[in-house]
Every structure is written in structure tokens, then in C-alpha cells.
Structure 1
């Protein structure tokens, strides 16, 4: 049965039927073409409609609008990256962390504004993110996380074993650090709501993969299967798929993640775990498990990540689903693979130095992406700001976005392919107790 497992986000399935848009057919001409219909492209399109009234704005997605990686993540709007992974030993390192923190906080605030303004029902919760560990060997990392957060003025609380078990409904974890300022949400519902709230000035197309971007006079030509889009300015916000368009191929790379979502817990199961409020767990280890108890009373788990240039096949997804089931059983012994309703894959974009792409890479060609697994908040605010950069806007945060810098070089293939797989295997071994 699982050999033919459908790779469809549970978030999208539970969000319900989404509005459909036409594919590009024939020749289209516009002042702006935006490639990518996730949080970045939607934010850029919305901002351009505000600051460039009267200009034709075309938004293009290769598949369904709002149903790509942005609706396949774990639903964390991150406000504070773990300070443990930052260089805080120098004034320059602390300044860089503060810069990234300002961007992420602005992203959470912008998402919250949009959800409130458009009354998007996406199970939004202003709740803390808990970094938690099972293995005592990782407790020192959490103590340093807590101390660094307090030193940086971040609202953070250390949670000991018994209190953590009551908070989560499982005794699997021995120590946690809760940081506040971010949010949890249902990304499928969020993206559906953001698509439905697009301004009338934005003309949307889907199922229209861009095959090539080429210079055409003073502007650009986008070649598609059934047509061509010509635009004076182009914004590309396809994140992990930038290299497919021959952009940033030596700067960014994709990681394939897989996740599963269970059925809703029964009343008896709720009673067994103490009816805790919903929560979200991140791991102190890079490849440790991300786990959530959602507002709809389902358990989400994501505990696999790999460098798979060809994507995740149905057979691979079935195997990863079994790993998810093992992780669920360690935390909630009454849950098994039969209790999983949805399993899916998604891609995140990574750079070696954990810096994003935010630039005018050629005259009138703007790139925005590579959020290093913090896409919902960071992608939303940087998508808005790339529109300001393209249109000559004056958002005060634009200087911060530019100051983030860009990705460093990665080695050429096949050296990089071998190195990436070896590094991930090493991280998996180090984080095995947190899967």
C-alpha cells in the first residue's frame, strides 16, 4: 500500500479546496513578472500592488499557487533562531544575530498583520517555541541556549523534566527551553488565505513552470511550455529551486525533508496525556525531530532530512513514514504507523554560511530566497522588501535586508555531493537519540 504513497501535504489536504487559476498560454506582457507563488512571491506581489499602482503584475507558479514548500513546512513562524548556532563571541557576531532577529521579528509581525487584516483562519497561536532534548548529552546545549537568550534580551524559560512532561503530555523529553515571540499555525490554511487575499491588481497563473529566463531588450523573457512572459522587471522567489533556473547554482542547495501527520487524538488519548495545550518542539540537534501537537489535536513529526537532488520517490516516502512512526511511538506509545493519515516531502534551501539570497543579480532581475529553514517569517518579510528594492521603495528594513549579505560559494559537483551526504550522515549519527 505504501509503495504508491501519495506525496501530498496533510496541511493542504485539511485546508480544503483551493481556488484555481489558469496556466500561461500565448504571449503575456507585464511591467512585473514574479516567479514563485509561495510566501515570497505572494508578499512581493501584494507589496507591488501597493507601491506600483497601475502597473501590470503577473504572478506565476510552476504547480498550484500556494501549495509548494510554503504549505509543506512544520508551521513555525520563527522569531528567534537558536543563539547556540550563532557566533556571539564578538561584537560583530552579536550584531549579525541582532540583525537576523530584527528581520525575523518583522516577518512574524507582517504575517500576523496579514492574518488579522484578511481574517485568515489558519489556527494562528501566539505561543512559544520549545527547544527540547531527550538525551542528557544535549542538555548543556539547551542551558547555553537559555543563557544566551536571556543575555540577548529574548523572553526565554528553562523547563525541567516534570514540568515539561505536564506541558507536552509525554515524558520523552528531559529538558526544554521555551522562547516567545513567534507563532504556530496551519501553513496550508495560511497559504490558501494569502492566495485568496491577493489584490485585484495581481494577475495569477499556475501550473506554468518557467523553463528559462533570458534577457530581452531592456527587460526579460520567461519561456514556458505554452507561452512566453515578457516583463520589464522580474522577481524570482522559488527558494530551493533557484538552481533549476541556472541561478545561484554555486551558492545554494536543497535539502529534502519529510513529515507525517496523524489522525486527531481520541478523547481517551487526550485524557491519557493530560489534555495539554497545543505546542511545537524543535531539537537542539540540526537533524533532530520537529514535533507538534496541533490545535486540531493531531501530532506532526518531521525527523528526516537528506540531500536528494532528484527529490523523494514514493518508495522513499514510505520508508521515511516508517521512521516517523518509530519517532511517534517513542513519544506516544499508543500511536503507530496505522495512525498516520498524511505523509509528504518538501524542500528547504540552504547556504553554507546560513545567509539568504536578496539581491538585484542583473539589471531588473531580482532574487529572493534561501531562508535556511526559517521560511514562513523570513520569506514573508524579505518578499515584501524585495518588491521595495525593485520599485525603489523606502522601507526602513530594506537596509537590514541588504546588510544580511549573501551565500558563500559551495564546492563544485561531485565534490559537494559527496561532502553533503557525508555531513548529513554525521549529523544523523550525532542526533540519533533526538529522532
Structure 2
């Protein structure tokens, strides 16, 4: 994602206001390796690190187009929560109860894996157990959450539903919230998590190159071209999301979507007291065009959402001032006492989404020389870490990829021109259906 700070400060973000480590050099000349990982976000870092942990003799190389910690993985909301794929009721309807239960259990295990992983590596990423609430601000969404809670209960999953009184006891200013589903979650600083994983990977012997944008991939000979350099790899992992369409013909499966986020100025003691929010849990909106909110350690609030189809990497630049206003208006829906609050930072960035809402961890050929891991559809912090572990151990022949959730139906493969026409209309319809009078 791109921070809204001035271009003369390309490495200053809300999570990493200044770099914490040295920039790795760009590749030079012609290199060879056993495995090349394209993408230095959470998926790529986890895959590369776990490849070395599973098979230390492997020569693993990681290529990051920008600087690690300043891409999409380092600029998300930092909510490490369960859930994967479509809404649980849709999974039950289309794939059955056993699949839906196993998929949620996998995501729940991924949350605990992520927290344990950060602790074991002693990464200072401001990790704290806070939980996440999916909240309804409209009667129709409150009914939807009631039905969803019933589905979780029928599957034997512990996802309690709080009524309005219980919600307001914790969030006294949020009187519009009708009810809330409660998920176990950890909140963290995703930029610091990425930098900590980079350090751990380097310590294990992963060769990392930054400012190394892959311009071309010759799959038949396993060669990646980065500027005037080339990397010949026995196996290649594409751990990229929004930018994957620029590598090979993925744009019919993975949709690049622009998401917007803003961080407010620091709240005063009086404002924090009026809001409450003493548990500091993350909030996730039940409306179709969702928004997420969370308090930050320095007293500011983060809010994000307002997705738009990204026709190119500059798709969100012109929209930032408008969407900053939209996001702050959404914040006042939750907490009326901060109606006049202003934003310190606004940014936008690319996510990878699929039409069927399932992420992708799969080989791109029969012999497993090329893999794709990504398209998290907004739920990637825990899943990316756990999936990178699972893929690494599968690639080294030590375990098989879990049957669930990765062996799920593949996303529809539609012509790019059709996607470019229909997806913006669909997102605009979601935006319209989510509007509320302030």
C-alpha cells in the first residue's frame, strides 16, 4: 500500500514511521537458487522462512518489489482474527457442514499459530490479545448476525452473539450497534511483524533482495527477470496479491482491489473516556461494503474499507481525499462523540480478491515447480503465516497440504474485460446498499 505522506518520505507509514532495519540490496548479475519466492509480505516471508526451517540445505531467495514492511502486508489493520472464505452460512449451504467446520477450525488454529510464531521469534510487534467483534448497525444486519450465530452454534463452534445491552456496556458511545459476534483475535503492528520476519529469515540464511520487481517470468525454464538481472530457480513461489496480474495471466482469477484506510489524530483523554472501548477490541462491520476499526497504542483510531476495483496501480490516488471523508463519516456512525475528528494519515493499497472469496494455495503445474499463495480477501494476517508454513513443509515433502481449506472450489476464471466491466458495478452496488443516514 502507498502511504499518503509526501513522496519525499517513501518509507514513512502509520505502522513504521521510520525504517527499523537496513535495506537489502537489489540483485545483480545472474543468480541460481533452489526456491525463489516472489513477494516479501507475510505469505512470502513465512514461506521462505519455513522452507529454511524445514530443509536448511535449500538455497532460498526472496524478491520484494519495494521495501519489506511497507507493502500491503505491512499496511493492513493488524487484526489477527479467524475466518476464511465466504460467510459461514454460505459455506454450509454450498460445501456442507463438515467442510465449513474444518475451514473455521483451520483459521482459528492459524490465529494461535500466528501469536505463538511472533512470540517464539521474539518479534516486537505490539502483540496483544483483544478479540474482534463483527457488529451490526442496521436491523437487517442484526438479523443476519443472529442467523450466523445460530449456524456457528449448530457446528459446535464458540462464536457468541452479544445483544445491544452487552455491547453498550463495553462501548457506551456506540449506541447504533444492534449486536455483535465475538471472535478470538490478536491485535498487532503488521509492519513490525514483517520486519521481524525479515530478520529471522536472514538469520536462517534466506537471501533477500529489496527493490527487486519481477518484470517477467519464463515458466518453461524457471527464470525470473529483475531489471538487468535474472534468477534461475528450480521452483518458484508467487506470494503476491494485487500485483499478480502484472506477472502472468492471473487477472481472470485474482482481482486487484483498492482499499482505503485512515488514522485519526490522537484522541484526548475526554474523547477516549466518552468512547469507552477499554477492551480495545477490533471492530468489523457486518454491512456488505465492510469497514474495520481499531484503537492504536498511541491513542489514535484506525478505520478502513471502501473497496474499489483497481484497473491499474494508480487507481486509488485520485480517490484518496474523497474516501478520507467517507471513512471519517463512517467513524461517526460508530462513535458520534468523535464526529468532528480529523485524519492524520490516509493511504490506499492493493488487495488480491477472488470471485468465490476463497484464498489460493495451489500449484500452477502438475509437477509442483510453480506455486501461488495469496488472495486473502481481507483475512490474511493469520492465514498467510500458517499457509506459508504448510506450503513450505509440503514443498519439502514432509507433509501434505491440508485437505481443507485449500482443496476448495477454484475461483471463476472470467475474461479480464468482463471483470473490468462488472466488478466496479458490483462494488458500487455494495457501497450503495451499505449507506446509512448520519
Q: TM-score, normalised by structure 1?
A: 0.90
Superposition deviation, residue 258 in structure 1: 0.4
The 1:15/1:377 distance shift into structure 2, 3 A limit, reads: farther
Tell whether the 8 Å contact from 2:251 to 2:416 is kept in structure 1 after alignment. Answer: no
Choose between structure 1 and 2: higher helix proportion: 1
Pick aligned residue for 2:308 from 306, 309, 328: 306
Tell me, in whole angstroms, the C-alpha distance in 1 between the residues paired with 2:362 and 2:174.
Answer: 46
Tell me, in whole angstroms, the C-alpha distance in 1 between the residues paired with 2:277 and 2:353.
Answer: 37
Tell whether the 8 Å contact from 2:352 to 2:374 is kept in structure 1 after alignment. Answer: yes
Superposition deviation, residue 45 in structure 1: 0.7
Pick aligned residue for 1:403 from 394, 407, 416: 407
Pick aligned residue for 2:280 from 263, 278, 281: 278
What is the SS of the residue equivalent to 1:286? coil
The 1:348/1:99 distance shift into structure 2, 3 A limit, reads: farther
- Residues 26-175 of structure 1: matches in 2 within 5 Å? 26-81=29-84, 83-84=87-88, 86-89=90-93, 92-175=95-178
What is the SS of the residue equivalent to 1:21? coil
Tell me, in whole angstroms, the C-alpha distance in 2 between the residues paired with 1:342 and 1:13.
Answer: 12
Superposition deviation, residue 99 in structure 1: 3.1
**CA shift digits 1:121-155 (9 cap, x unpaired):** 22222232211122222211111122122222222
Tell whether the 8 Å contact from 2:320 to 2:348 is kept in structure 1 after alignment. Answer: yes
Tell me, in whole angstroms, the C-alpha distance in 1 between the residues paired with 2:437 and 2:261.
Answer: 15
**Residue matched to 1:374:** 379
Superposition deviation, residue 303 in structure 1: 3.2
**CA shift digits 1:212-248 (9 cap, x unpaired):** 111464xx11001131111111111012222211142
**Residue matched to 2:243:** 241
Tell whether the 8 Å contact from 2:111 to 2:185 is kept in structure 1 after alignment. Answer: yes
Tell me, in whole angstroms, the C-alpha distance in 1 between the residues paired with 2:185 and 2:277.
Answer: 23
Superposition deviation, residue 113 in structure 1: 1.8
**Residue matched to 1:321:** 324
What is the SS of the residue equivalent to 1:399? coil
Provide structure 2 residue ranges, at least 5 long, that are not aligned to the other structure.
none
Superposition deviation, residue 8 in structure 1: 7.3
Tell whether the 8 Å contact from 1:135 to 1:434 is kept in structure 2 after alignment. Answer: no
What is the CA RMSD across the aligned residues, in angstroms? Answer: 2.6
Pick aligned residue for 1:267 from 266, 269, 275: 269
Tell whether the 8 Å contact from 1:260 to 1:343 is kept in structure 2 after alignment. Answer: yes
Pick aligned residue for 1:254 from 253, 256, 268: 256
Aligned residues: 429
**Residue matched to 2:417:** 414
Superposition deviation, residue 420 in structure 1: 0.7
What is the SS of the residue equivalent to 1:87? helix
Tell me, in whole angstroms, the C-alpha distance in 2 between the residues paired with 1:32 and 1:263.
Answer: 44
The reply on whether 1:228 has 2:230 as its aligned counterpart is yes
**Residue matched to 1:386:** 391
Tell me, in whole angstroms, the C-alpha distance in 1 between the residues paired with 2:11 and 2:423.
Answer: 27
The 1:105/1:159 distance shift into structure 2, 3 A limit, reads: closer
Provide structure 1 residue ranges, at least 5 long, that are not aligned to the other structure.
none
**CA shift digits 1:2-21 (9 cap, x unpaired):** 99866877443347534311
Pick aligned residue for 1:206 from 198, 203, 210: 210
The 1:151/1:306 distance shift into structure 2, 3 A limit, reads: same
The 1:134/1:399 distance shift into structure 2, 3 A limit, reads: closer
**Residue matched to 1:297:** 299
Tell whether the 8 Å contact from 1:73 to 1:346 is kept in structure 2 after alignment. Answer: no
**CA shift digits 1:62-118 (9 cap, x unpaired):** 11123211112112222135745523247x422231232133123212211211111
Superposition deviation, residue 366 in structure 1: 1.4
Superposition deviation, residue 434 in structure 1: 9.2
Q: TM-score, normalised by structure 2?
A: 0.90
